[in-house]
A and B are shown apart, each in its own frame.
Chain A
Amino acid sequence: MTPTRRALAISALALLLPIVDGCSAPEPAKPKVQQILKMRMRENPPDTDPAQSADSLSDRINLAVHDGLVDFDPESLAIVPAVAESWEISKDGLIYTFRLHPGVRFHNGKVLTSADVLYSFTRVLDPKVNSKRREILAGVKGAEAFGRRSATQVEGLSAPDPKTFVITLEKPMPYFLQLLATPAAAIVPRDVYEDPQKAYLSQPVGCGPFKVARWERSNFMELEAFGDYYQGRPKLDKVLVRFIENPASAMEEYRRGGLDYMDEMVGSETSIARELPRDYRKAPLLGTFYFGFNLARPPFKGNANLRKAFNYAVDRQALCDQTFEGTLTPSHGILAPGTPGFNPQLKGYDFNPALAREYLAKAGFPGGKGLPAIDLWVNNNQKLLESAQKVQANLKSAGISVRIKAVDFATFLQALQGTPESPGDALFYRYGWNADYPDPDAFLFWLLHSRNIGPAGNIGRYSNPKVDELLDRARRLNAMEERIPLYQEAERIAVEEDAAWLFLANYTQRVLIKPFVQGVVLSPLGPMRIPLDHLWIEAHPTAQASSP
């Protein structure tokens, strides 16, 4: 070694030393035996104001922090008491009288009274608040006038005494209590939410089982058990919600024991289920997955045969089994199994390439001739893109040529929705819909009624006066037995006569939960409804950690 080399080598070593030193990381601290649940959420919940809660992330946090008058039983979805201890509904189905639970306190110590309920519900309807979920209370008498600012208060909401609250509806709404069980109907304390500085956005205050202890928005949210919770203090001391965007990283964190719960798995679920058989849980979900047509534009406009050709061309079973590994179930219609009114007799469409070609010819495009290439709009998501490729291949063998157009969600939304007056750019797109309440109305009214054409939900711009009439009539009836035939007829027309969409599948939900977490119930309304206040940790987490 020449002196030059030695000199350089020595200086190199000197520079490397601090790195070697820096690499000896401290030992991970041993977790104490604690009732702490660590869960993953994709990102920070965008809306911690319950009046604006409209996505599953916000819903999950708002359901933990707030309570409404009533709630869903997580399993049966029956309406159970929450802040309201009991209620009466008048014979005509118009007047709801709620008795409030005594001794309900907010996180700031204040006692909840009917004035808070009045304030919270008025707030949802207040044009200044501009709630995205205004529709849950839009059926209350006087809501319309209040929204137009021609009344200073909502006529149908009243608080005759601190423990009683009365709601009067414009028309009967058989599913009204279900609407009151959605996160947006939470009861919030008036003194906190009247703040013009909106401090409640950073420090939400509710009467729910958990309060927000710490919150770093791109990092984590720490929920702490609320000691004075009126239904009894939750068994968990803390729920740590970690915001982890990349699902592959989150999966490793789960394996490693840094998470006790996660949904939104990626990769092969069959392998995950095999690897973590005690953690992997699957349950149905009230939701439908389909590819939609733009019915206001050619070639789909007024061409039911073409739409039927699409429906016959796609192999749903293979799509569900291969691309989705059984995490979707093939469907013949719109309503998900488990929804009241689900019709197992609905025939729908089975995979039948011969029929597809026949209908394509009937539609005026024999062998696909004359049919321009159609863009299939998909928002960027691996599974969705895979499913789009599968459908693309199916359609191609039927002679229909489709180009996949992957765009980010905002672009996707704009291309789909258009405005109530004019349709968006997308002719053919993937779409999905989850029910907010377990009623056929939650699907059919929003997706098929011509009143909701555009952003409100009927993105395909389906319009059939017969279906509108059936849906309107069903909305006014009280008895479920009378409503169901109307909904089933509306669904049948949309599916079998009009082929309004390319009907594909129903969702399921899959989650990974460490086996030591007890009391887990998966609600058909989605994993965000897992009742956090009923969970507990059975044994020392590290003793049973299922990491390899």
Chain B
Amino acid sequence: MTLPTRASRIGLAIVICFALAAIFAPALARLWGQNPYEPVIPVGVIPPTAPEPSHPLGTDSLGRDLLARLLYGARISLSVGVLAETVALLLGLVIGGIAGFYGGWVDDFLMRMTDIFFSLPAPLLALAVTAALPDPATLPYLRRLPEPSLAVVLLVLGFIGWAGIARLVRAQILVLREMDYAAAATALGARGGRLLLRHLLPNALAPVIATATIGVAGNILSEAWLSFLGVGAHPPLPSWGIMITEGQNYLTTHPWVCIYPGLALFSAVLGLNLLGEGLREAMDPHRFALKR
């Protein structure tokens, strides 16, 4: 499969850049000799300080190197986006798959459930659930994760995001179920769960991947405004959302503190969106009908 448009190829390039930045963040930051958690400016200087050769993007309100934080932020924001979407994907595939495959009252029940999730105002739901979840540090499995507060954010985002995917998967399964190859698989003895897992879901996955890519972008944005409303990940984690929120207070006096994280967030999300749109178009069966 090739990406159909120039825009989507640009998107892919951006996403790869950010993924590399995220993976090699510690090495890249070490290259500069910077650490995202420690102040790097001399005592007596009031942060934030402006960009200079040793700190190409300046320092933030606690005097920490902004570039180092942005690099680590790529790690955090991208992994929140991807992991939350994975949670949503798993829930959506299971629920949508079951609903579409079994039909009848199961379908009715599960689809009413997605309706309910659709009708709840998502941001407010995220806010309430984030506040309502008990301290992740006391929960049996979450406690062992490196950053429990992030785990909460990504679980909440996944918990909210599954409904759309479930609908899409269900619609796909409804179509695929009637296809010849499904009948062939049934004739060869595939039944129930096996038919669903081995034959239908993998084929339903393609359009879902495009939606999920855009979903990752949406999750990164959601993480940002959860931080804006004060319920995101906990400082001193350098998530882009936290950095923008901290930075907006300095917007008029020290713009770089807010603008660079904003730009990073913007370009990563844009890249993902471009890529997702491209994937979606690549899967469009009518694509070749249009000549360039």
Q: Do chains A and B touch in the complex (CB under 8 A)?
A: yes
Q: Measuring CB to CB, which residues of chain A are less than 8 angstroms from any residue of chain B? A: 247-248, 251-252, 255, 266-268, 270-272, 275, 318, 321-323, 325, 375, 380, 382, 385-386, 388-390, 392-393, 403-406, 408, 411
Instruction: Closest A residue to B127 by CB, please name it.
Output: A408
Q: Are B246 and A322 in contact (CB under 8 A)?
A: no
Does B44 have its Cβ within 8 Å of any Cβ on chain A?
yes
Q: Who on chain B is nearest to A425 by CB?
A: B135
Q: Interface 1/0s, chain B 219-238, versus A by CB < 8 A? A: 00000000000110011100
Known contacts A252-B252, A271-B254; A322/B47 CB under 8 A:
yes
With contact pairs A267-B252, A268-B254, A411-B131 given, residues A321 and B46 touching in the complex (Cβ less than 8 Å): yes
A385-B46 in contact (CB<8A) = no
- Could you say which residues of chain B place their CB within 8 Å of the CB of A322? 39, 43, 45-47, 62-63
CA distance A282 to B236 in the complex (A): 29
A403–B45 CA distance with the chains assembled, in angstroms: 26
Max chain A Cβ within 10 angstroms of own Cβ: one of B37, B43, B230, B245: B230
Choose from B48, B61, B236 the contact partner of A404 (Cβ within 8 Å). Answer: B236
Taking a contact as CB atoms closer than 8 A, the residue among B37, B38, B44, B230 that contacts A380 in the complex is B230
Find B61's partner among A255, A318, A386, A393 (CB 8 Å cutoff).
A386
Given A268-B61, A321-B44, A322-B46, 20 other A-B residues pairs in contact with their CB atoms under 8 A: A247-B249, A248-B248, A248-B249, A251-B252, A252-B252, A255-B252, A267-B249, A267-B250, A267-B251, A268-B250, A268-B253, A322-B47, A325-B46, A380-B231, A382-B249, A386-B246, A388-B235, A393-B39, A404-B236, A408-B230
Compute how far the CA of A275 lies from the CA of B250 in the bound complex, rounded to whole angstroms.
Answer: 13
A270–B135 CA distance with the chains assembled, in angstroms: 37
**A404 with B235: CB separation less than 8 A:** yes
Nearest A residue to B135 via CB reads: A405
Chain A: CB-nearest residue to B230: A380
* Residues of B contacting A275 in the complex (Cβ-Cβ under 8 angstroms): 253
Contacts of B135 in A (CB 8 A): 405
- Cβ of B62 and Cβ of A389 under 8 Å apart? yes
CB-CB under 8 A for A406 and B63, given A267-B251, A393-B38, A411-B131 = no
Please state if B234 and A248 are interface contacts (CB–CB under 8 Å): no
Determine the residue in chain B with the shortest Cβ distance to A266. Answer: B249
Q: B240 to nearest A CB, angstroms?
A: 16
In the assembled complex, the Cα of A318 lies from the Cα of B46 at a distance in Å of 10
Report if B16 contacts A (CB, 8 A). Answer: no
Q: How far is the CA of A15 from the CA of B219 in the complex (A)?
A: 32
Given known A386-B61, A389-B236, A408-B131, contact A267–B46 (CB-CB < 8 A): no
Q: Which residues of B are found within 8 Å of A403, using beta-carbon distances?
A: 137
Report Cα–Cα, A405/B46, bound state, in Å: 26
| Cβ–Cβ < 8 Å partners of B252 in chain A | 251-252, 255, 267
Interface residues of B in 191-233 (CB under 8 A from A): 230-231
Distance, CA A321 to CA B254, complexed state (A): 18
Name A270's contact: one of B46, B131, B235 (CB within 8 Å).
B46
Contact of A405 among B37, B44, B234 (CB under 8 A): B234
Tell me which residues from 49 to 82 in chain B have a Cβ below 8 Å from any Cβ of chain A. 61-63
Q: Which residue in chain B gives the minimum CB-CB distance to A270?
A: B46
Min CB distance, B262 to chain A, in Å? Answer: 13
A and B contact pairs by CB, cutoff 8 A, 7 listed: A268-B48, A318-B43, A322-B45, A325-B46, A393-B37, A393-B38, A406-B234
Residues of chain B with a CB closer than 8 A to A404's CB: 234-236
- Chain B residues closer than 8 Å to A380, beta-carbon distance: 230-231
**Consensus secondary structure, chain B interface:** loop
Roughly how many angstroms separate A411 CA and B62 CA in the complex, as a whole number? Answer: 26
Contacts of B46 in A (CB 8 A): 268, 270, 321-322, 325
Bound CA span A318–B234, Å: 23
Cβ–Cβ < 8 Å partners of B249 in chain A: 247-248, 266-267, 382
Looking at the assembled complex, report how far the CB atom of A543 sits from the nearest CB atom of chain B, in whole angstroms: 23
From A248, A255, A318, A411, residue with most partner B Cβ within 10 Å: A248
Chain A residues in 8 Å Cβ range of B43:
318, 322
Closest 5 A-B residue pairs measured CB to CB? Answer: A266-B249, A271-B253, A380-B230, A267-B249, A267-B250
Which residues of chain B have C-beta atoms less than 8 A from A267's C-beta? 249-254
For B230, the chain A residues whose CB sits under 8 A away are 380, 406, 408
Contact present for A390 and B48 (CB under 8 Å): no
User: In whole angstroms, what is the CA distance A403 to B138 when docked?
Assistant: 13
Residue of B nearest to A411 (CB): B131
A266 cross-chain contacts in B, Cβ below 8 A: 249
* B window 29-46: CB within 8 A of A: 37-39, 43-46
A417 to B251, CA, bound (A): 36
Give Cα distance in the complex from A408 to B152, angstroms. Answer: 15
Residue of A nearest to B132 (CB): A411
A-chain residues with CB within 8 Å of residue B234 when the two chains form the complex: 404-406
Q: How far is the CB of B278 from chain A (nearest CB, A)?
A: 23
By the criterion CB–CB under 8 Å, are B231 and A408 in contact?
yes
On chain B, the residues within 8 Å of A411 by CB distance are 131
Alpha-carbon distance A256/B144, docked complex (angstroms):
50
Taking the nearest CB of chain B, how far is it from the CB of A266, in angstroms? 4
Complex Cα distance, B37 from A275, in Å, reads 30
How far apart are the CA atoms of A393 and B250 in the complex, in Å? 23
A430 CB → nearest B CB, Å: 13
CB distance from B229 to the nearest CB of A (A): 9
Q: How far is the CB of A384 from chain B (nearest CB, A)?
A: 10
Q: How far is the CB of A76 from chain B (nearest CB, A)?
A: 33
Q: Which residues of chain B from 139 to 175 have any CB-CB distance to chain A below 8 Å in the complex?
A: 149
Docked CA distance A8–B32 (Å): 53
Contact A389 B235 (CB under 8 A): yes
Give the interface centre of B46, B135, B149, B245 by most chain A CB atoms within 10 Å. Answer: B46
User: What residues of B have a CB within 8 angstroms of the CB of A386 in the complex?
Assistant: 61-62, 235, 246
CB proximity of B142 to chain A, nearest CB, Å: 14
Contacts of A251 in B (CB 8 A): 252
- If A323-B62, A325-B46, A393-B38 touch, does A248 touch B236 (CB 8 Å cutoff)? no
Q: How far is the CA of A404 from the CA of B235 in the complex (A)?
A: 7
Q: CB < 8 Å: which of A255, A318, A323, A406 contacts B235? A: A406
- Chain B neighbourhood of A270, CB < 8 A: 46
Taking the closest CB of chain A, its distance from the CB of B182, in whole angstroms, is: 40
Q: Which residues of B contact A255 (CB under 8 A)?
A: 252
The residue among B37, B61, B135 with the most chain A CB atoms within 10 A of its own CB is: B61
